[in-house]
A and B are shown apart, each in its own frame.
Chain A
Amino acid sequence: MSRFLAVEDSLVRMQRDLDRATSEDPKKVKWGMVIDLAKCIGCHACTIACVAENKLPPGVVYRPVLENEKGTYPAVARKFVPRPCLQCQNPPCTKVCPVTATYKNEAGVVVVNYKRCIGCRYCLVACPYSARTSDFGDWYTEGVTEADEVVYGKNAAAESYEADPATEYGKKWPKRGKGSPIGNARKCHFCLHRLAVNMLPACVTTCIGRATIFGNRNDPESLVFEMIASARAYQLKEELGTQPAVYYLA
């Protein structure tokens, strides 16, 4: 390697880590994520990639990027904090669910069973990170005027794209407006449907600064394991004892 290209792209290494993880005994895999705040430039590409990948409706967001500004001009500092679901290993949201619709799966990812959720939103209230949103059944095409043969009109747009559901959790969901996940709690699930086919989560592959690192945190050879061990690593609201599987690098 030349002195100008000292290391391989972290995506390549993460893909290799992923290949290794998916070929292992699933019981040994615990997914984790590390977000390097020094590398995040606040482009919101991860947010948009997530919205597109999961076809999130208006008002539902899995991975917003928070902008924190400190100080007053001219002594001002700014940082960007992407906030997916932190996949707590001691999750406050699952304990409060009255019908076991949300739970931590074998790989340590907190999931929602859309067919069980009664939509009480107790989990939304219990989450210390506001990482859950409820699907109130809003449409992007609501209020859009119909203009057949002039522009791609409301009905056509809704029919061709918006009503067609994403394959979250690797399942085929009914057309939008015909039941769940409308009325349900929704959240980031580390793109489990992509992991199932050996693809990294959408937010990871779209991060232009390579600020998001993903992999099996039980694998000592993985990049994510290496980063979690960094002295810069910390967890959000650590004092609450929720033990997030998403770490930040200061």
Chain B
Amino acid sequence: MQYKFFPLLSFLAVAGLVIGSIGMFYRLLYGLNPVAFGSYVPWGLWVAFYLFFLGLSAGAFLVTILTYLLRIKPFKSIGPLSAFMVLICLFCEVLFILLDLGTMHRAFYQFFLTPSFSSLMTWMFILFNAMGIIYTLKTYFLVRGDIIREAPRQTGIVQSVYRLLAFGRTHYDHEMKAADDRRVHVLAWISLPVGLMFYAANGAFFAILINRPIWNSALTPLLFVVAALLSGGALVTVLTYLFGGQDIALRETLSIYLGRSVLFLLSLFLVLEAMQFFVGYQTGRTDIVTSLNHITIGPNWWTFWIVHLGIGSLIPLILLTFYSHHPKIVAWSCFLIFITFISVRYNFVIPDLAVYKLEGLESAFVHARLTTEYTPNLNEWLVSIWIISAGLLLFLLGTRYLPIVNFKIGGMNHAESEI
């Protein structure tokens, strides 16, 4: 596929990889030593980015469920793209978490040798891998027909990749198409409980911690799911507007329809968030109020008021309410929501950690690793840039050279129209 921003985006991705490699070099050589977080704020920017990509994958996951489980036809044009997006997001998620581990290499075998099933992290590991397998297979079966059909028309390394993925097949008929359809449907069935458990487990991961009053609430998993659907739904709306097939009318209708869903999710999310603040402040508990104050009047207050509430909520809310029939404005609104959502994730992870859990701890043993003051350093940003650039490059290469998006009606139907 060709699209006009490909060279620019590719350049940005490669530049990001080059610049970010400085951070990666220090991370791989010196472990966690070059990071700014410590023992009282043990998670930082990378965990916030993990949650950001988790949210984006949730939106894409939802579209694949609508398309291949509920078989809602209009979404078919973006089905393969959504499945591919889930894979890209999972790729970024796993990189952020792997690089956040103190002894990264052990993650590759210790989960298999001595798993603890009482830990939600173990379940996240299991569910993450299950999602990875399901969506790799699903994406493959969605594009297999196009790969087999297109292989002879490609040249060079792309042809080699196509032939490799075709596993030597040169013919794709109705029976194979029907079999692939069935496989995708079965995978969609499996992915529904797996996906729901995966996203809920991520919320519960924080909610079960009794000493973290902001997280330790039954509202947290719900807020997590809504946040994930909101940010992911916003991303999917943008992708639909950009890549939703050549039928412009259908693409725009779909964008408008998705925009309405995003508006509903945004309103719901803001209500839940307001409830969290209202209840928290009403308790009057010092630790809760301090955490909330950290968000509203702390050193990074602007990420909450300007980035999240202003640019990421108020402007999209107005635009999606009053210009809901303008696909371009809907797409821009959704772009603002998903791009600013990292501030929501950051303000979820840091504030509860940024409160001393015992009085006097702040001065008991003074060291840069034993403080609740945290601002991501250049190294953390560089590593983040590297991972995001790697994800972007994979997305660009996938959408350009694989039949993820096509000019006709979309993925599967492309192959179908030829057989």
Contacts and interface: CB of A to CB of B under 8 A. Distances in A.
The size bracket of the interface on A is 35 or more
Interface stretch (B39-47, B249-257, B374-382, B409-417): B39-47
B33 A125 contact: no
**Across chains A and B, which 7 residue pairs bring their CB atoms closest together, nearest first?**
A119-B102, A183-B102, A66-B360, A59-B369, A128-B211, A64-B364, A98-B121
Q: Which of B212, B368, B370: most chain A CB closer than 10 A?
A: B370
Contacts of A100: 114-116
Contact of B31 (A98, A126, A129, A137): A137
B32 A183 contact: yes
Interface of B: 30-33, 35, 38-40, 42-43, 100-104, 106-107, 110-111, 113-116, 118-122, 125, 208-212, 353, 356-361, 363-365, 367-370
Contacts, number: 156
A214 B273 CA distance: 47
B364 A136 contact: no
A184 B120 CA distance: 19
16 contacts: A58-B369, A59-B367, A59-B368, A61-B364, A92-B210, A98-B116, A98-B119, A98-B121, A98-B122, A116-B106, A118-B106, A121-B102, A128-B211, A182-B102, A183-B102, A183-B103
Given A64-B361, A81-B360, A138-B33, 10 more contacts: A59-B370, A61-B365, A92-B209, A98-B122, A101-B114, A116-B110, A120-B102, A129-B357, A130-B40, A136-B369
A68 interface: yes
Which of B35, B39, B116 has the most A CB atoms < 10 Å from its CB?
B39
A124 interface: yes
B100 to A, nearest CB: 8
A83 interface: yes
A205 B115 CA distance: 38
A238 interface: no
A130 B356 contact: yes
A129 B370 contact: no
B367 A58 contact: yes
Contact of B39 (A59, A83, A122): A59
A124 B116 CA distance: 17
A133 interface: yes
A65 interface: yes
Q: Chain A CB within 10 Å — which of B30, B35, B364 has the most? A: B364
Interface in A82-113: 83, 92, 95-101
Interface of A: 47, 58-61, 64-68, 81, 83, 92, 95-101, 116-122, 124-130, 132-138, 180, 182-185, 236-237, 240
A92 B102 contact: no
Nearest to A128: B211
A81 B43 CA distance: 27
Contact of A117 (B106, B212, B361): B106
A118 to B, nearest CB: 5
B36 to A, nearest CB: 10
B48 to A, nearest CB: 14
A126 B369 CA distance: 17
B369 A133 contact: yes
Nearest to B125: A98
Nearest to A61: B365
B363 A67 contact: yes
A125 B114 contact: no
B121 A65 contact: no
Nearest to B110: A99
B103 A184 contact: yes
Given A59-B369, A125-B212, A136-B33, A119 B101 contact: yes
